[in-house]
Structure 1
Amino acid sequence: MGKSKVLIIGGTGYLGKRLVKASLREGHETFVLSRREIGVDIDKVEMLISFKMLGAHLVPASLADHASLVDAVKLVDVVICALSGVHIRSSTIMLQLNLVQAIKEAGNVKRFVPSEFGTDPARMENATEPGKVLFEEKMMVRKAIEEAGIPYTYVSANCFAGYFVGGLCQFGKILPSRDSVLIHGDGNKKAIYVAEDDIASYTIKTIDDPRTLNKTLYIKPPKNILSQREVVHMWEKLIGKQLHKTTISKEDFLASMKDLDYGQQVGLGHYHDVLYEGCLTNFEIGNEGEEASQLYPDLHYTTVEDYLKRYV
């Protein structure tokens, strides 16, 4: 069986650029949506050109132009949407719903991977406000996909290492301190950290795999299921120094949200659910899901310890 043709939407984004490279690396004929709204964003234009030089096809289209979107979808077998979180919230949820309608009309797609890639929204009915709305909107997209009868794979990649590991699990920090760290609660709730390149590689592995059809792929590398204190301890070993630790209670953490803007409240709410409630590790994967590292044992994932070494 030949390789699928893949269309990636959001290919110049944080995860999207990795998905493009992973798709090309796996030998898929890869198409990248070149949105007409890109304007004079030179960084994105240069990135698109770099994809073309690697062998990708650039497809001019717009998520707001139904006809162009349908034409783009008709070129491929698989569609992967990697719009960043800001493109899924509130008024712009229509972008993904527009894509679902285009896929339905085109009628040729054998697999759709919508833009999720974080916490499984189906398990977040008790999420902290206002972040809960983000999960509700993702469930709206899922409902539209399933009602349209579109074959899918949902990817739950848990915590992006760049955002969580880099900052030692502290909100708003992406570089590890060599002096001090803020510990959330007792710091012992387990979370799951995944390198962004690994997220892309696992996602591309799923698209031709019948085992992941109409299921959720959970990326849970066993060596990366760690508490905040374990992450901090790994960093301390690498730098040969103990950090000064200050704890923040759940109540104080939630109180700190009230004067922040909406986007920051959403982010802090997610950190609360992960680091205080343990929402990523308080369930077992059932028949509706598969675990990536078990499905693809030959894919050598990046451990948290190895990820931290880049900052030494």
Structure 2
Amino acid sequence: MAREAEPSRILIFGGTGYIGKHIARASVAFGHPTCIYARPAGPRTKPLNLNLRREFRSTGIRIIEGELDEHEKIVTALKQVDIVISALAYPQVPDQLKIIDAIVAAGNIKRFVPSDFGCEEDKITPLPPFEEFLEKKRKIRRATEAAGIPFTFVATNCLAAYFINVLLHPHNPHDEIVVYGDGEANAVLNYEEDVGKYTIKVANDPRACNRVVSYRPKPSIISQHQLISLWEEKTGRSFKRVYVPEEDLVKLSQTLPPPENIPVSILHSIFVKGDLMSYEIDDDDLEVSTMYPEMQLTTIDQLLNIFLTDPPEPARAAFG
């Protein structure tokens, strides 16, 4: 009888961050020996972060404290694992070049998933501030390919709890909700816990090696108007829809100083242009829900039920 393959050993950069913690939890839940490479804790480390580190240690996650410029420390950590997942936040995206250099030096990594938790940047052209944002991610993709590192690039689209807060402000007592554009463009809202689970699955899946995987399950596709109507049904309230025309967002993207011009450009791309649904998933790419039809998703309807009682902790942390 053939022996079952040993579970992959996984190292996560940014594992205590907004999406990284969901990836780390999923990694442990799926039985993978898991490490997190994180900045050393200090006096300025937030209590939420310290609590998370305690939680992770209690579940068997090893936390390696270090900086991204400590090349030898990273190489040593990489030699003890099989798969590397980066969930570094946007300001640290260029620093992934240091991770790529370390992966090349280590020479043993079977898969690298860079921090790409958003839109499919190779297939859209948004307003200039968002375009500049995406170009930094594209450089990491191209550097990964040039280095010959086995990769999986993920296009996870919108993180649902985060964007539900942005769009609905669900605990705002006022009966007004802002609508960007005409509110008809479809977006893709995937719950953060599901993104974490899917990411661990694709990082270990031979089908996803050197491929782009889009997270575009049909139940996660929704327009602003549909989302607001569903929230009205849940709450029994009626909201006044206050429209922000496309030209206003374009003007703001041109007049606001950076980085304030980036969020309005993202809103324009997703909720006015409908960039997340503007392209077909071609034969060279994969769609995650068709790869794992057995996995039960948290639907938008179910997520709104959670918001009725208490917002998910990550969303509360992001918006105060």
Scaled by the length of structure 1, the TM-score of the pair is 0.92
1:83 paired to 2:93 = no
CA, structure 1 residues 176+149, in 2 after alignment: closer, same or farther (shift >3 Å)? farther
Kindly tell me: are residues 247 and 281 of structure 1, through their superposed partners in 2, closer, same or farther at Cα, counting changes over 3 Å?
same
Q: Does the Cα contact within 8 Å between 1:119 and 1:156 map onto a contact in 2?
A: yes
SS state at 1:39 partner: coil
Q: 1:181/1:29 Cα in 2 relative to 1: closer, same or farther (>3 Å)?
A: same
Aligned to 1:135: 134
Q: What residue is the counterpart of 2:317 in the other structure?
A: none
C-alpha distance in 1 between matches for 2:259 and 2:232: 31
The CA distance in 1 between the partners of 2:134 and 2:307, in whole Å, is 32
**What is aligned with 1:207?**
203
- Alignment-derived partner of residue 276 in structure 2: 280
Distance in 1, matches of 2:116 and 2:171, equals 25
Whether 1:15 and 2:14 are equivalent positions in the alignment is no
Q: Mean Cα displacement is larger for which, 159-168 or 132-141?
A: 159-168
Instruction: Name the counterpart of 2:179.
Output: 183
Distance 1:176 1:147, change over 3 A: farther
Query: In the alignment, which residue of structure 1 is the partner of 2:143?
Result: 144
Q: How has the CA–CA distance of structure 1 residues 236 and 178 changed in structure 2, closer, same or farther, with 3 Å as cutoff?
A: farther
Q: 1: distance between equivalents of 2:173 and 2:166?
A: 8
1:293 aligns with 289
Q: Does the 8 Å contact 1:61/1:72 carry over to 2? A: no
> Quick one: structure 1 residues 163 and 34, their matched pair in 2 at CA, closer, same or farther if it must change by over 3 Å?
closer
> What is the Cα deviation at residue 174 of structure 1?
6.7
CA shift at 1:167, angstroms?
Answer: 3.3
Residues 226-256 of structure 1: per-residue CA shift (max 9 Å, x gap): 1110001100111122211121210122223
- Tell me, yes or no, if the aligned pair for 1:167 and 1:175 is still in contact at 8 Å: no
CA displacement, residues 27-75 of structure 1 (integer Å, 9 cap, x when unaligned):
0000111323x42215323322321111111223321111111111111
1:28 matched to 2:32: yes
**Aligned residue in 2 for 1:5:** 9
1:298 CA displacement: 1.5
Alignment of structure 1 residues 257-276 onto 2, 5 Å: 257-276=253-272
Contact kept, 8 Å, 1:168 with 1:176, in 2: the verdict is no
Partner of 2:260, secondary structure, is helix
Q: Whole-Å Cα distance in 2 between the matches of residues 309 and 151 of structure 1?
A: 40
1:287 is displaced (CA, Å) by 2.3
Contact 2:181 2:243 in 1 (8 A): yes
2:241 aligns to what SS in structure 1? strand
Is residue 163 of structure 2 the alignment partner of residue 164 of structure 1?
Answer: yes
SS at match of 1:271: helix
2:315 is matched with none
Note the aligned Cα RMSD (angstroms). Answer: 1.6
Gaps of 5+ in 2: 309-320
In the alignment, what sits opposite 1:53? 58
Show CA shifts across 1:160-199 (max 9, x none). Answer: 1122123336xxx575666111122211011100000010
Rounded Cα–Cα distance in structure 1 between residues aligned with 2:170 and 2:260: 15
2:121 is the counterpart of 1:117: no
- Percent identity among equivalent residues? 33
Q: Deviations over 1:254-281 (max 9, x none)?
A: 2234553412211110110111111000
Query: Hey, what's the Cα distance between the residues in 1 that align with 2:296 and 2:120?
Result: 23
Instruction: Please tell me whether the aligned partners of residues 9 and 81 of structure 1 are also in contact (alpha carbons under 8 angstroms).
Output: yes
Separation in structure 1 between the aligned mates of residue 217 and residue 59 of structure 2, nearest angstrom: 30
Q: 2:244 aligns with which of 240, 248, 264?
A: 248
Q: Give, in whole Å, the separation in 1 of the partners of 2:65 and 2:245.
A: 50
Q: Which runs of 5+ in 1 are unaligned?
A: none
Deviation at 1:223, TM superposition (A): 1.1
Q: Find the counterpart in structure 2 of residue 217 from structure 1.
A: 213
| Segment drifting more, 41-50 vs 194-203 | 41-50
What is the SS of the residue equivalent to 1:83?
A: coil
Equivalent-residue separation in structure 2 for 1:122 and 1:203 (angstroms): 19
Q: CA deviation at 1:127?
A: 1.5
Q: Structure 1 CA distance, aligned partners of 2:166 and 2:6?
A: 42
Asked if the contact 1:218–1:290 (Cα under 8 Å) also holds between the matched residues in 2, the reply is: yes
8 Å Cα contact 1:34-1:48 kept in structure 2:
no
Q: Give CA-to-partner distance per residue, 1:108-139, whole Å, 9 cap, x none.
A: 00000000110111113x21121211111111
SS at 1:112 equivalent: strand
User: May I ask how many residue pairs the two structures share in their alignment?
Assistant: 302
